[in-house]
Structure 1
Amino acid sequence: MGLYVPPLLAWICLVFALLKSDLRARDPARRAILRVLLALALSFTVLAPAPYDAVARFTGVPNLARFLGHAALLEAALMGQVFLLYLDPAVDDPRARFRRQGWWAAGVLAAMALAFALADTPVNDRSFTGRYGGELWVLEYWVILGAYLVPAFHSMGRMAWRYSRLSGNVFVRVGLRLVAAGVIAALVHHVNKALLLAVDRLGYDRAPGVGRLLDALLPLAVPVLILLGATMSAWAPFLRLPALLEWLRRYRVYLVLRPLWRGLYRANPQIALVRPPHLLADLLTPRDLGLRLYRRVIEIRDGRMILRHRLDPDVAAAARERAVRVGVTGRMLDAVVEAATLSAALRAVGNADAAGNADAAGNAGDGEARAGEPPSVAVPGGDDLASDIAFLCDVARAYRRSLWAWRLSRLPGARLPRRLR
């Protein structure tokens, strides 16, 4: 039954893509990907056991389904390159490239037909290369097929990976990377199959075990990777994956901010609207995440404002000098300086608590004294909520590193790792 998974998946992806496409729109890239899916569906279908035998019975030509499946695979490789060419703004005339590739594919197909006709393969057998691997013209047939597929797979994998890094849509990016992985796996499969055929031609009794294993696994892995990757941008919204991805992003940010928020809360519990849950409760009950994340950001900012008179400009200057010395720049530089300044201020509050300094520890500079005095250290951050959250995440990560560095430095004979110094 596993042999029917690739054709079934291919037809499902094609139908889903057709339902999500506007066929009246003159979008050559979308039409190219539909032709890729159709060609793959036809190729995988005729190579499945029952259609493979049916083609031989209907035409009277043994193993003709093998040639038809490979012809459809040539069409899929051709249209896959065309689709990626339409994504490249640097290509002025994708149609000209398509015509050149089309003539090359037609020549390869004609040579394949000649080699297939000359090969002596009188028995219809799905294990075509296993049964006839040592016969004349079978290896040649595969090499001719590879003359088009190997460069095409290499080009498609390289272009898909490059375009994935340029896309701002996460599902397009992941889909293109799956396509790149699929076509590279197809390239490996084709080269591996050629080597196995060469071993059979030379008369060796046993081929390498790794080669046989790849020959069994890659034909199933390749269609799954390519089909899922090529259609991910269509079926991901249907499965509500964008909403899930946004929820996971908020959840990760919420937990990243927890150490910084926890340190500020311990210094000034009044910043929290409600008593904070235990870490496990935070992990296991992520309800109302949007509201809780918004509150966490506000409470961090409130805690920072209460500590503003504890922020030492000398600490900030020293932290900035050390960070610049190791090459930190931009927003990360501001985040590292902010984390070091907050960490020093929170330790000062903790020391004042331990010493019983009621004036410093009780109010922690809450503004009763020196009200209206400007803060001693400028307030860095983003221009809006999203950029401020991104900045606070950088601060929280730097704060966590500085906190662990401080804790380790208190151990007898401790020597800090270089990344914590």
Structure 2
Amino acid sequence: MIGALAALLYTLPRLVRDVADPALIAICTYFTCSFLSFFLGLDFIWPHIADLFGYKNTTTILIHCIIVVLTAAQLIVLMHWSHPPEAARTKSYKIIGVFGPLLISLIALFAFALPDKRRTAETASLLNLDNPRYAAYLYAYVSVVAIGQIITMRVSIRYAGIAARAWLRRGMWIVAAGAGFILVYCIMRYVEIAGVQAGADMEPWDPLQWLAGDTGSLLELMGWTIPGWGPSLSAARRSIGEFRAYYRLYPLWFALYQANPTIAKEPRPGLAGKLPSRGLNMRLYRRVIEILDGQLALRPFVHPDDADAARERASAAGLDGAAFQAAVEAFQLRAALRAKADGRPASAPADVVPAAPGDDLPSQIRWLTLLADAFARSASGIDAQTLASTRGRRG
């Protein structure tokens, strides 16, 4: 119930901005009906409605009618999402033309059955099932719901295969899964009705069918709304990743900045350099550029023998692949920084290992964070000892 209300409140502002959108009207109808189907069944609500109409099972037929409308509304949404406007409009009219008479027929069947037992919302589903006329009505009602969910599942799966947006595809798969759970609920209701008619005790069965139905309803609510709020999750995840990358790149950036302060357009050493206050995406981009500039500025201090020493050390550590490459370059950078600090440029500078396996920014960020981690792990004392032995071999 809370999920349905939240979904409705989330979607209503869009409907206010575009009141003529049939898909928005249908989805808001779906959310409203979903909320009412739970709300009217609450134990502190239904007795007042029953007293108002003078019939204790008023909310039973009301809820069933609401669910039929809900089922038709979700089919109309799918038609508008998966077909061109004209075709969607035609199909929507057909859905209304089918479900309208079905709804009237169900009301007539219920009026013919007129079940008279009602205790609480939790036990109502098992009551009156011994009434053959009510059992026939319930078979018809569950069949209408099942047919609607079968169509929902089929169209959702088909649309998920052609939808261009990732979160829309995910939403359709979730809707299809929800429809599957509601179909399980329908099957269990068939068995439950038949069991009570046969004199079996179906009370242990009852919580399972409610669980399947509630799970399906929740999944469908999530599936219908996730195309709207799902991209915000992707944006949040992206921002978290960018923040972590910005923070992880700081030790490497700061070392290169100390060696060549001119690489920084806006120097931000200390805490300000670790925690960007605003413009994270642009600051991360600047950090990548400044690191690459810092690497280029160190080229005159990269000694050819340092690369050999770096490979030996990485091999001895059992590294391979990207980790091996990052460790080699991290060692070379530390060696170049020491050589620059000592004022010892190389007589024949070696090429620095390529800054990133790929030209796009995400690839460069992934590579440079791997490099920054390797750079941060490299111990200054061990580097000095290794460098001393390397310098000794060079004579």
Query: Which TM bucket (shorter chain)?
Result: 0.5 to 0.7
SS at 1:97 equivalent: helix
Match of 2:364 among 388, 392, 397: 392
After superposition, the Cα gap between the structure-2 partners of 1:12 and 1:90, relative to the gap in structure 1 and judged at 3 Å, is: closer
Q: Corresponding residue for 1:270?
A: 259
SS of the equivalent of 1:199 reads helix
Report 1:14-53 matches (<5 A).
14=8, 17-22=11-16, 25-53=19-47
Q: Does 1:363 align with 2:340?
A: yes
Say if 1:47 and 1:90 are closer, same or farther in 2 by CA, change over 3 A.
same
Identify if the C-alpha distance between structure 1 residues 268 and 19 changes in structure 2 by more than 3 Å, giving closer, same or farther. Answer: closer
- Report the CA distance between 1:47 and its aligned residue: 3.1
Gapped regions of structure 1 (runs ≥ 5)? 1-5, 316-335, 354-358, 404-421
Which amino acid in structure 2 is aligned with residue 188 of structure 1?
A: V
Q: Give the letter for the 1:65 counterpart.
A: T
Q: Which residue is 2:239 aligned to?
A: 250
CA spacing shift, 1:397–1:372, aligned 2, 3 Å: closer
Tell me the residue number matched to 1:77: 71
> Is 1:200 paired with 2:196?
yes
Q: Distance between the aligned counterparts of 1:288 and 1:110, measured in 2?
A: 59
> Does residue 96 in structure 1 map to residue 94 in structure 2?
no
From the superposition, tell whether residues 270 and 245 of structure 1 become closer, same or farther in structure 2 (CA, over 3 Å): farther
1:301 equivalent in alignment to 2:285: no
1:37 and 1:375 mapped to 2: Cα distance?
Answer: 60
Superposition pairs of residues 143-158 of structure 1, within 5 angstroms: 143-157=139-153
Contact preservation (8 Å) 1:119, 1:138: yes
Cα offset, 1:233, TM superposition: 6.7
Q: 1:128 aligns with which of 124, 131, 142?
A: 124
Change (3 A) 1:251 1:59: closer
**Separation in 2 of the partners of 1:267 and 1:24?**
53
Deviation at residue 93 of structure 1 after TM alignment:
0.9
Distance 1:259-1:165 versus aligned 2 partners, 3 A rule? farther
Alpha-carbon distance in 2 for matches of 1:185, 1:95: 28
C-alpha displacement at 1:87, in angstroms? 1.2
After superposition, give the CA deviation of every residue in 1:361-388 in whole Å (9 maximum; x if it has no partner).
Answer: 5139x99668999978597644xxxx41
Secondary structure at the counterpart of residue 129 of structure 1 = coil
Pairs within 5 Å for 1:145-294:
145-157=141-153, 159-160=155-156, 162-163=159-160, 166=163, 168=165, 179-205=175-201, 211-218=205-212, 220-221=214-215, 223-227=217-221, 230-231=224-225, 242=232, 246=235, 248-256=237-245, 262=251, 270=259, 273=267, 287-288=277-278, 290=280, 293-294=284-285
Give identity over the alignment, percent.
19
- The code of the aligned residue for 2:129 comes to G
Deviating more after overlay: 112-121 vs 159-168: 159-168
Q: Structure 1's 391 and 89: CA in aligned 2 closer, same or farther, altered over 3 A?
A: farther
TM-score, with length taken from structure 1: 0.62
| CA distance 1:247–1:47, change in 2 (3 Å) | closer
Q: Which amino acid aligns with 2:140?
A: I
Verify the 8 A CA contact 1:77 1:152 in the aligned structure 2.
Answer: yes
SS at match of 1:140: helix
- 1:344 maps to 2:328: yes
Number of residue equivalences? 354
- Per-residue CA deviation, residues 280-300 of structure 1 (Å, 9 max, x unaligned), is x96xx6744716534432343
Distance 1:288 1:191, change over 3 A: same
Shift in alpha-carbon separation, 1:346–1:82, aligned structure 2, 3 A: same
CA distance in 1, matches of 2:86, 2:352: 57
User: In angstroms, what is the RMSD of aligned CA positions?
Assistant: 5.0
Task: Could you tell me which runs of 5 or more consecutive residues in structure 2 were left unpaired when the two chains were aligned.
Answer: 262-266, 308-319, 376-395
Q: Residues 239-264 of structure 1: CA distance to partner in whole angstroms, max 9, x if unpaired?
A: xx94x864542221332466676567
